Amino acid sequence: MNYLTDYMAGLRHLLATTAVDCAGSIEDMRRKLATARTGGARIFICGNGGSAATASHFALDLVKNAEGFKAIALSDSTPMLTALANDIGYTATFAAQLESLATGGDVLLAISASGNSRNILAALRAARPRGLWNIGLLGFDGGEAKELCDVSVVVPCNDYALVEDVHMAICHMLTTRFKEGRCGS
């Protein structure tokens, strides 16, 4: 049973470390999401693999459980993703959606453990000239994505599973605070 206690101990340690090291950037992220909600801006969320699942889950939680959010996970439409990947390449799938849907004042939340996924970087680069606010929920050292974000929450770990668990915990914590109304409009 060491695998169980070892994993849980590692996760507990990483959650505690992240709570201290990333408190300011998580608060900045919360403020920007609250401002988007108040202003009626859309929040576009993207990620690959497990991070796509987190993006979808967070968008659902914001729309369903925290009144007033307009959140969209860019990975949720399989027909959209496959058509864009076929026609222009997978690297541009999220960027192309932003080019069609996003306007100034909207927010892009990019979720990536490594911070180096080409389609995530392309989305962050496409968001800037459109006037979007870029937030990164990242791991490892933040990768290239960290430099393209207005706010970066970087979970200080090189283990994909642990980073993804902490990302989901951050999303749940934010949704809970918004739902309970403890963080303003």
What is the per-residue DSSP string for 111-162? EESSS--HHHHHHHHHHGGGTPEEEEEE-TT-TGGGGG-SEEEE---S-HHH
Domain span at 71: 2-180
Whose CA is closest to 99, among 127, 134, 133?
127
Q: Classify residue 72: in a domain, yes or no.
A: yes
User: What is the count of structural domains for the chain?
Assistant: 1
What is the spatial distance between Cα 185 and Cα 18, in angstroms, rounded to a whole number? 25
Residue 185 pLDDT > 60, yes or no?
A: no
pTM to 2 decimals? 0.95
**Within a domain: 100:** yes
Compute how many other C-beta atoms are within 10 angstroms of the C-beta atom of residue 88. 12
Asked if the structure places residue 159 within a domain, the reply is yes
Name the average pLDDT for the chain.
96
Tell me what pLDDT residue 162 has.
98
**183 phi, psi to nearest 5 deg:** -125, 25
Q: What is the CATH number of the domain that holds 15?
A: 3.40.50.10490
Domain assignment present for 130:
yes
| Of the candidates 67, 77, 68, the residue with the CA atom closest to the CA atom of residue 101 | 77
Token pair in block for residue 20? 């201290």
pLDDT digits (tens, 9 = 90+) for 24-77: 999 999 999 999 999 999 999 999 999 999 999 999 999 999 989 999 999 999
Give the span between the Cα atoms of 128 and 176, in whole angstroms.
29
Residue 162 tokens read as 């642990």
- Report residue 167 as tokens: 């990302």
Does 185 map to a domain?
A: no
pLDDT tens, position by position, 124-158: 999 999 999 999 999 999 999 999 999 999 999 99
SS3 46: strand
